[in-house]
Amino acid sequence: MRNPLRGSILGLAALGSLALAAPAAWAGCGGEAAMVPASWETAPGAGADALLVKVNNGAQSIVGLWNVQFFAGGNMIDFGYAEWHSDGTEIMNSGGRAPATENFCLGVWEQTGPFSYKLNHFALSYDAGTGALNARVNIREDVVVDQKGSAFSGPFTIDVLDPNNGAVLQHVAGRIVGRRVTVNSVN
The pLDDT value recorded for residue 59 is: 46
Longest distance between any two alpha carbons in the chain, whole Å: 102
Dump pLDDT digits (tens) for 132-177.
999 999 999 999 999 899 999 999 999 999 999 999 999 999 999 9
The pLDDT value recorded for residue 17 is: 44
The pLDDT value recorded for residue 61 is: 87
The pLDDT value recorded for residue 37 is: 40
Among 32-36, 48-52, 61-65, 74-78, name the one with the lowest average pLDDT: 32-36
Model confidence at 182: pLDDT above 70: yes
**In 112-128, which positions are buried (b, 16+ CB within 10 angstroms) versus exposed (e)?**
eeebebebebebebbee
Contact by Cβ (8 Å): 13, 21: no
Dump pLDDT digits (tens) for 59-101.
458 999 999 999 999 999 999 999 999 999 999 999 999 999 9
Share of the chain above pLDDT 70, in %: 67
Which of these, 187, 173, 175, lies nearest to 69 by C-alpha position?
Answer: 175
The pLDDT value recorded for residue 25 is: 38
Question: 3-class SS at 17?
Answer: helix
The pLDDT value recorded for residue 77 is: 97
Higher-confidence residue of 130 and 42: namely 130
Share of the chain above pLDDT 90, in %: 65
Q: How many CA atoms lie within 13 A of 163 on its CB side?
A: 11
**In 137-156, which positions are buried (b, 16+ CB within 10 angstroms) versus exposed (e)?**
bbbebebbbeeebebbbbeb
Contact by Cβ (8 Å): 143, 163: no
Mean pLDDT of the chain: 80
Element (H, E) at 105: strand 104-111
Domains of the chain, earliest start first = 4-54 (no CATH), 64-180 (2.40.128.120)
The pLDDT value recorded for residue 51 is: 57
pLDDT category of residue 44 using cuts at 50, 70 and 90: low
Cα distance between residue 118 and residue 108, in whole Å = 8
